[in-house]
Structures are given as C-alpha cells and as structure tokens.
Amino acid sequence: MIKKKNSKIRIFSGTRPTGFLHLGNYLGGLKGYLELQDKKDYDCIYSVVDLHGITSPYDPKTYQDQIREVVLEYLACGLDPKKCHLLVQSQVSEHMELAYYLSTIYPVSRLEQLPTYKEKKKEQPQYVNLGLFYYPVLMAADILLYKAQFVPVGKDQAPHLEVAREIARIFNRRFGQTFPEPQAYFMPSSYIPSLTGEGKMSKSKEGSYINLISSLDVIQKKLAKVPTDAGKGKKIPNKGGVDVLLKLIELFQGKEKRKNYENLYLGKGVQYKLLKEELAIAIYKELKPIQAKRNYYQKNPKLVDGILKQGKVYASKIAKQTIQEVKEKMGIV
Ligand code: AMP
Ligand code: TRP
C-alpha cells in the first residue's frame, strides 16, 4: 500500500441519483463505504454523482429530490460526517474540467468497446448521447481529482475502474507521476443478482430489486415472485432464482442458515414459502432502523445542508490543487 508520510489514504466513491437505493447498492457499494470510513488513516469522500445520472433519461423537476434521497439514505445507512465527507458531484465543477483534460489523452476506440456502454446503448436506444459515451472518463476524473487509491464499488464497475487506472497510467507516462493507480475495493457481496433470476439487481430493471425503504409487505411480495424449482435436487443451483435466495439468506441470516437450506435441498426438500417468509423478516429487520434514521434526517434538512456544505468546501480545496497541478503539467498555464 502506497502511503505518503503524514498523509492519509484517500477513498472516493459515488452513486447515481436514479431513485431509491436498493439492496445491490447497499450490499455491493455502501457496505464498503462504511467499512472504509471506520479505518484509521483513511480519508473518505462519498458522492452523489448527479452529472452521471443525467446521461440516462431523467426528470429535471424531481432530480433535486432524487439527489437528496441518496444523501438521506447514505446518512441513514451509517455514513458519518465525522468520519467521511459527503459531496454532491456537480457542486465541485472541477470534476468536469478534469474530465475534459483526461478525455484528450484517451482513445475513443477503448470506450466504444466497454461492455457497460454497449449495455446502455441497448437499454436506452433513444438516449445514446455523448455524455453516456464520456461516462467512464468523468468517472475517472471523479477518482483522480482526489488522487484516490481505493474505490469501494460493486463488481459491475470493474471495467470502469480499469479505464480510470489506464488513464492514470497514460497521464503519468506523458506528463510525469501525478496520479496513483486507483484500485477497486470489492465487498464479499459485490454482485447481487436480480430477483428475476437473470442478470444483476438494478434500478432500471423492474421486479429485480428491493429498495432500502421497502415495507415488510413489499419485501414479502417481491420475494414471493422470485422463481424457484421443485425444492430438491442433486446439485445446489448456482444461477436463477434459487441462487439469489441463497445469496440473500447468507447475507441476512448467515452462512449457517444457508448451509441448512442447502442440506434440505440435497435431502428431503426445501419449502420455499417458509424460506421466503423468514428471509423477508430478516431483511426487514436490517432495513427498519435504516428507514427510521432516514426519516430523522428528512425532518432535519438544515442538518443535511450543513453536512453537504462542509463536504463541498473540503472537496473543492483538494480539487483546485489537482487542477492547478494538471494544468501546469499539461502546459496550459
Ligand atoms: P449505481 O446505482 O449504479 O450508481 O451504483 C451504486 C453502487 O452500487 C456502485 O458501487 C455499484 O457497483 C453498486 N451496485 C449497483 N448494483 C449492484 C448489484 N446488483 N450488486 C452489487 N453492487 C451493485
Ligand atoms: N459509475 C458508478 C455506478 O454506476 C457511479 C460512479 C460515478 C462512481 N463516478 C464514480 C463510482 C467514481 C465510484 C467512483 O455505480
């Protein structure tokens, strides 16, 4: 681990404000944020990446509410302004400035090949804009602006992290050592599959997710729809609905519980109705205090405004220094 004398290890991550957070965001992203904010010598900046959010269809009238929702849920899950800084990306315009500089050193052909870009093109064929294409460069700028060394994200972000690493390498080679090569920090739960049994849990796929603000009733209904099988067999399924259920059982009820169900599956059979009822209760038990905390912060908007203001001031200071250094190295000042 590279660590300068007297300096902390910088962490950066972000979430798009595309609606309420779901279990994938919580287990794959936020759990990592929480773990790292508790480490001594780590300096964490966590952001709502609103400039990334506008590369997909969105409603400008409700966008500010969506940004606020992510901030509330960040705080509710335990991000603590005493241990980390919270930032709304667009409030530090240097993100865009650095993205432009970095875009001039990165080949178009590499971006065209990215699986994330190809997927998005399929998902939103009427909305294939330049911003969408540029998305990984802006993400690299987010990370490099703060010279972050670790980036807690879900596995779906691995290709984007590779772009950020490559951009750092190219920049350093051409203009002299400037950026550390950022590394992804994956949690054991870094890939949460969709409740439909196909692909990943995602906000853009209806029926695939459970939100953090879901009631017990909603969780029960969502789990009830997860496709299952006869409940017994010679091999534990490693894909589809049963695999999703087992993963969630492990994460919310523990490894032991999962093992019990696996033994039943290989033996006298699993009763999915009971399994789903128990799982719904376990998930809700973890979400209930988060929901209460979210409501507390919602009722205290001044407190939240203050936290964001502090985050902006802190991040701006670092951002300005990096931009100055980059401009000098690139010969623009
Ligand atoms: P997004 O909502 O795409 O901005 O994602 C915010 C964070 O949640 C990122 O770190 C993602 O990698 C993570 N994430 C989103 N969906 C999943 C999933 N299905 N499994 C694990 N992590 C996820
Ligand atoms: N692309 C990320 C996602 O969809 C969000 C993001 C934007 C991000 N900038 C970032 C994540 C910087 C980590 C670091 O989840």
Strand spans (E) along 146-202: 150-152, 183-185
Residue 227 and residue 108 in one domain: no
Provide the pLDDT for residue 12: 98
Cβ atoms of 312 and 87 within 8 Å: the answer is yes
**CATH number of the domain where residue 99 is located:** 3.40.50.620
Closest CA to 142 of 191, 104, 187, 93: 93
The C-alpha torsion from 243 through 239 and 262 to 226, rounded to 10°, is 40
User: Are both 134 and 170 inside the same structural domain?
Assistant: yes
Q: Are residues 286 and 319 in the same domain?
A: no
Q: Which residues contact 173 (CB under 8 A, 6 or more apart)?
A: none
Which residue from 52, 183, 204 has its CB within 8 A of the most atoms of ligand 2, so it is best to mutate?
Answer: 52
> Do 132 and 241 lie in a common domain?
no
Residue 5 has pLDDT above 90, yes or no: no
Q: pTM of the predicted model, to two decimals?
A: 0.94
HSE of 298, CA atoms in CB hemisphere, 13 A: 14
Say if residue 148 is in the same domain as residue 167: yes
Residues 26 and 143 in one domain: yes
Identify whether residues 75 and 160 lie together within a single domain.
Answer: yes
* Interval 269-289: pLDDT, tens: 999 999 999 999 999 999 999
* Domains held by the chain: number: 2
The residue contributing the CA closest to ligand 2 atom 13 is 13
Work out the mean pLDDT of the chain and round it to a whole number.
Answer: 96
Look up the domain containing 149 and give its range. 9-192+301-330
User: 34 near 83, Cβ under 8 Å?
Assistant: no
User: Does 102 fall in a domain?
Assistant: yes
226 and 171 belong to one structural domain: no
Q: Are residues 149 and 252 in the same domain?
A: no
How does pLDDT run across 58-116, given as a tens digit for each residue?
A: 999 999 999 999 999 999 999 999 999 999 999 999 999 999 999 999 999 999 999 98
DSSP state of 184: E
Q: How far is the CA of 209 from the centre of ligand 1 (A)?
A: 11
Whether residues 146 and 62 fall in one domain: yes
Task: Name which residue sits closest to atom 11 of ligand 1, judged by CA.
Answer: 154
Q: Are residues 249 and 110 in the same domain?
A: no
**Strand segments (E) across the chain:** 9-15, 42-48, 84-88, 150-152, 183-185
Residues 58 and 178 in one domain: yes
Relative to the CA of 155, which ligand 1 atom is closest?
Answer: 12
